[in-house]
Structure 1
Amino acid sequence: DGLARYGYLANPASPTPGLPVGFVVADGVLGPSCAACHTRQIEVEGKAYRIDGGPALADMGALWADLDTVVGKVLADTASFSEFAKAVLGSGYDPQKETKLRGEVDLWYARHHAITEAGLPKDRPWGAGRIDAVGMILNRVTGLDIGPGPTHIILGNMRKADAPVRPPFLWNAPRQDHTQWPGFADNGDRILAMARNVGQVYGVFGEFFPEKDATHLLGFNYVKANSVDFKGLIELERLVERIGPPKWPWPTDRTLAAQGKLIYERPYEEGGCADCHGIDRGQPRLLNPDTWCTPVQDVGTDAREYQYFAPDWKVDTGALTGAFIPFVSEPLGRTDAPVSVLATAARGAILQHFLPVTVNGVERKKADVALAILQPLIEELKGVYKIPGTPGAGRWACRRAPETPGKLKFEARVLEGVWAAAPYLHNASVPSLAELLKPPQDRATDFKVGPAYDVSAVGLA
């Protein structure tokens, strides 16, 4: 069914027949791209509207769990695996190749099963339209990438990824000066976009096995065993920059719209929206001085995602013990914050890819001079994956948005095109704008999730 059972969308133009939107085959490997989680389809009166960059209503958690189950069953039955091997190897099949394939699948399954058991919640699944990407990215990098070979697993570094959120819409995302729902990642130019996207690749099955390497400028090799397609990420970000907010495709009552505009633009103290959700000048970035300010505020919503920034959660830094980025970070301790490990992994890979410099003792002084020249560029990466509330995690003050008390803060984005992004709030807990405008205690406590759309309520039907 082209993975339709999980909510993924049909793609008749797929180069590989049968694959849905956002799934591609490259170098003989199947994997998801940005579009898998960031393409929406809504349906009204039998007509479907496909929205590029909209939050998908797919169930990645169910796909993840089912993949673990089915591969486990195939490995447990010799006849089933032989049938699988013949399908994979085709005309080149022979018993020796089957044995080799068996070893490769055993290794893949050991890693996938480990993160499935340790990280995927079973009692409260993510469900359609929600995914705990941050939790699983941290699990992947600290739990599957930096341990001893051949599995590279550090089981004790992983924890349940039980803070699912709605995937954000992508239009205008490159212009935000901060991103991720808690606003813990600097954003706004292509350097920072690369860091954001490298982290996502690590989370969705990317290969990354760093190792110490004194011959490299950074003292570690971040790209020797790294499947990130840097050229592809640059092209994808260019495409995202071209995505504009979707236009409302149905008739509008212009009189009511004018009245609503006045309410929306009222000051915050009078119940308006634009102070937090309007366009305001953001923090200038090295390669882009024209960003949009992204307020990050505590408005009393679900704050479970903040468990990943708890000061008492430390992980074994494994292969990255002692790693640091000049001008940007201190060396990782034997144990350290998982967000710091992720930040080092992303920064290191980017710098090594774009500055593939190897050095020996004689050349070290020259290398230090080169680093000094590149200091402004390297320092741009300082804001990659910060721990909220720590020194150095300060924020640009938006001119219009009010400061809110409390520390459990989430971003308030510009709302252009928000009609196509239901359900609402960061955790997808409100089905429509009509419900969102009610007092919290009066909102629907349960609702169906799917493509059916209610035009009058502006959200899920």
Structure 2
Amino acid sequence: MIRRIFLLILGVLGLVAEANRCHAGEPDPAAGYDHLINTTYLPPYFDQETFDNVWRIWPEPLRSQAEKATPDERRQMAFDRYGLTGRPEDPTRPLQYVVDLKGNWTLNCFSCHGGEVDGKPLPGLPNNRFDFAGITDDIRLTKALLGKKMVTTDYSSLVFPMGENKGTTNAVNFGVALISLRDADLNFVPGASFPRMLHHDMEPPPWWHFSQKDNIYIDGFAPKGHRALLQFTMVRANGPKSFREREDDFRDIYAYLSSLEAPKYSGKIDQQKAAAGQIVFNQHCSECHGTYGDNASYPQRMIPIDEIKTDRARLDSLSPEHRQVYGQSWFNEYGEKKGLIADPGGYVAPPLDGVWATAPYFHNGSVPTLWHVLHPEQRPKIWRWAGKSYDHQQMGISVKQLAEVPGGLHAIDKREVFDTSRFGKSSAGHDFPRELSEEEKDAVLEYLKTL
């Protein structure tokens, strides 16, 4: 009798649980954020002890400064060194990593898509300070010092370019490499090898643009969908079953990305000048970048590479065959999801809401401020970060222009120097502002603060 009552209770609880699942059938943006910061979709990379001791392999005088610092001060020094930020709701915990109860650290999507502007962490903002190569190298050395077990990621930067500048990564080729080892169902293919790849660096886009697009990426080749967001979890530990089991999580994450709105400019705005800038913008820029305010529109316009003339490494890095491999896979519903563009021929002009916060500019992060975007002939050939403070005058990151790349820099410091003469790093192109007078450029710059 007791057993029958117990089974009845379990049955009722099961029905309640099922009802709750049905009731909660709509994707939940709040749950999506929670998944990103608390759910591990990749294997752990290192543990808390390793992170707490990473300062021991830093170069002097940084190591001595860290030795004298408190644990909290050392943590902040490490955050600054690798481009990590605290979470808005808890500054002591990294936004860019899931840290579980055992102290294991696992990379999450905010490593690239969660940054800081004007001293405030902002989920969805491109992380212009993240040094993927730097933290990978330093963690590997720290594990060796502590006698810790290495994992696959520890060797990644030894065999695969991670990113030559802070804030940029070789993300496109991460995707090419990962999917090249699998079939359309995402099973591993015995004997499969990486194809020839054109390595280059990309700056991530802001996530609050996600809701305005039908296709994603700067070349707009891939139809948007929750499955597409699972691409970068294609490590060996994850098989086809894990992707399918996580679809509901990624529906929530899709909803979270779709819910994000651009941040409001944090400084003062000359409204009269901005109004004049809106007129100039609508006459010269809106055809590609859209309109804002009442009756806003975004055309998702593809600009041919010979017209935009920005660095073409990103366009050339994906062949039509690369794009079709993705397009015929489970990620794109085996080709049933329409809209794939195998040979885009150019780049999609992005929307500009929140553009004030997203420096540096262009898809490769080669232009440090909006002022330089509007003054093509004065873009610096070589520039270096001059601190984390926001440049409210030129609208972007604070930089120092250099005549040459300094010698003798530590690898991490060298990644703060952007040399536009290197492959994939060009700041040329988007010359359209040459048509504007200085007064018009100044007005447009003020108007961009309002978006």
**Does the pair score TM above 0.5?**
yes
- The 3 A distance-change label for structure 1 pair 161 and 68 is farther
Evaluate the alpha carbon distance shift between residue 423 and residue 21 of structure 1 in structure 2; reply closer, same or farther with a 3 A threshold.
Answer: same
Partner residue in 2 for 1:196: 228
Pick closer, same or farther for the CA change 1:275–1:141 going to 2, 3 Å: same
Picking from 270, 280, 295, the partner of 1:263 is: 280
Q: How does 1:336-375 map to 2 (within 5 A)?
A: 337-347=321-331
Corresponding residue for residue 459 of structure 1: 396
Q: Which residue of 1 aligns with 2:147?
A: 80
How far 1:178 sits from its partner (Å)? 2.0
Find the aligned partners of 1:42 and 1:80 in 2 and give their Cα distance: 37
d(CA) in 2 for partners of 1:293 and 1:70? 49
| 8 Å contact from structure 1 (residues 119, 161) kept in 2 | no
Per-residue deviation, 1:18: 5.8
Matched, 1:20 2:94: yes
1:377-427 CA distances to partner (integer Å, 9 max, x unpaired)?
A: x73x2335x4225xxxxxxxxxxxxxxxxx3x1111111110000111111
Which of 254, 266, 271 is the matching residue for 1:237?
A: 254
Report if the CA contact (8 A) 1:136-1:161 is conserved: no
**Cα displacement (A) at 1:13:** 4.8
Offset at residue 236 of structure 1 (A): 1.8
Partner in structure 2 of residue 306 of structure 1: 315
The 2-side partners of 1:208 and 1:158 are apart by 21
Instruction: State the SS of the aligned residue for 2:268.
Output: coil
Structure 2 residue identity aligned to 1:309: L
Measure the CA separation in 1 of the matches of 2:242 and 2:276. Answer: 57
Separation of aligned partners in 2, 1:226 and 1:239: 19
**8 A Cα contact 2:111 2:127, kept in partner:** yes
Q: Distance in 2 between matches of 1:80 and 1:178?
A: 46
Match of 2:241, SS?
coil
Residues 199, 342 of structure 1: 8 Å contact kept? no
The 3 A distance-change label for structure 1 pair 70 and 40 is same
- Tell whether 2:342 aligns with 1:387: yes
Per-residue deviation at 1:242?
2.0
Instruction: Indicate the RMSD between aligned Cα atoms, in angstroms.
Output: 3.5
Query: CA contact under 8 A between 2:113 and 2:125: conserved in structure 1?
Result: yes
- The equivalent of 2:212 in structure 1 is 175
* Cα distance in 2 for residues equivalent to 1:119 and 1:70: 20
Is the 1:138–1:339 contact (alpha carbons within 8 Å) kept by the matching residues of 2? no
Is contact 1:183-1:410 (8 Å) kept? yes
Q: Does residue 64 of structure 1 match 2:110?
A: no
- What are the Cα deviations for residues 116-139 of structure 1, in whole angstroms up to 9, with x where unaligned? 444216xxx422111121111111
- The 8 Å contact of residues 227 and 247 in structure 2, kept in 1 or not, is answered as no
Q: Distance in 2 between matches of 1:305 and 1:154?
A: 28
- Counterpart of 1:126 in 2: which secondary structure? coil
**Take 1:120 and 1:112, find their aligned partners in 2: how far apart are those partners?**
13
Cα distance change on mapping 1:116 and 1:52 into 2, 3 Å: closer
For 1:452 and 1:432, the matched residues in 2 are separated by 13
SS in 2 for 1:448: strand
Post-superposition shift, 1:274?
A: 0.7
CA contact (8 A) 1:131 1:166 kept: yes
Aligned ranges 1:132-211 → 2 under 5 Å: 132-143=170-181, 156-159=193-196, 162-186=199-223, 192-202=224-234, 205=235, 207-209=237-239
Asked if structure 2 preserves the Cα contact closer than 8 Å seen for 1:279 and 1:292, the reply is: yes
Kindly state the Cα deviation for residue 32 of structure 1 after the two structures are TM-superposed: 2.6
Contact 1:201 1:228 in 2 (8 A): no
Cα distance, 1:451–1:234 mapped onto 2, change above 3 Å = farther
In structure 2, do the counterparts of structure 1 residues 428 and 230 end up closer, same or farther at CA, with 3 Å as the change threshold? same
For structure 1, which runs of at least 5 residues remain unmatched after alignment?
A: 85-104, 187-191, 210-222, 267-271, 281-289, 312-336, 352-377, 390-406
3-state DSSP of counterpart to 2:384: coil
Aligned to 1:54: 125
Counterpart Cα distance in 1 of 2:202 and 2:190: 26
Shift of 1:430: 0.7
Maintained 8 Å contact 1:432/1:460: yes
**Counterpart amino acid of residue 160 in structure 2:** G
Classify 1:153/1:433 alpha carbon distance in 2 versus 1 (closer, same or farther; 3 Å): farther
Distance 2:190 2:96 in 1: 28
The sequence identity of aligned pairs, in percent, is 21
Distance 1:18 1:80 in 2: 27
Q: 1:294 aligns with which of 290, 300, 314?
A: 300
Native 8 Å contact 2:208 2:260 kept in 1 = yes
Taking structure 1 as reference, are residues 199 and 26 closer, same or farther at Cα in structure 2, changes over 3 Å only? farther
| Deviation, structure 1 residue 50 | 2.9
Letter in 2 for 1:61: A
CA distance in 1, matches of 2:85, 2:109: 13
Pairwise mapping of residues 420-439 of structure 1 onto structure 2 (< 5 A)? 420-439=357-376
Preserved CA contact (<8 Å) 1:245 1:416: yes
Using the alignment, how far apart are the partners of 2:328 and 2:297 within structure 1?
A: 25
Mark the CA change 1:291 to 1:161 in structure 2 (over 3 Å): closer, same or farther. farther
Q: Closer, same or farther in 2 for the Cα pair 1:60/1:343, shift >3 Å?
A: farther
Distance of 1:30 and 1:228 partners within structure 2: 22
CA distance in 1, matches of 2:180, 2:269: 50
Count, aligned residues: 311
Give 3-state SS (helix, strand or coil) of 1:452's partner. Answer: strand
| Residues 131, 26 of structure 1: alpha-carbon distance in 2 compared, 3 angstrom cutoff | same
Rounded to whole Å, the distance in 1 between the matches of 2:353 and 2:125 is 12
TM-score, with structure 2 as normaliser: 0.60
Instruction: Kindly indicate whether residue 116 of structure 2 is the aligned counterpart of residue 41 of structure 1.
Output: yes
Instruction: Give the Cα–Cα distance (whole angstroms) in 2 for the partners of residues 153 and 433 of structure 1.
Output: 48
Amino acid at match of 1:382: K
Match of 2:199, SS state, is coil
- Structure 1: distance between partners of 2:209 and 2:278: 21
Q: In structure 2, what is the Cα distance between the partners aligned to 1:230 and 1:27? A: 25
Q: Which residue of 2 aligns with 1:119?
A: 160
Structure 1 segments (4+ residues) deviating >6 Å: 26-29, 150-153
Partners in 2 of 1:224 and 1:21 — Cα distance? 28
Query: Which consecutive residues of structure 2, in runs of 5 or more, have no partner in the other structure?
Result: 1-74, 399-451
Query: 3-state DSSP class of the match of 1:246?
Result: coil
Structure 2 match to 1:278: 290
d(CA) in 1 for partners of 2:362 and 2:111?
21
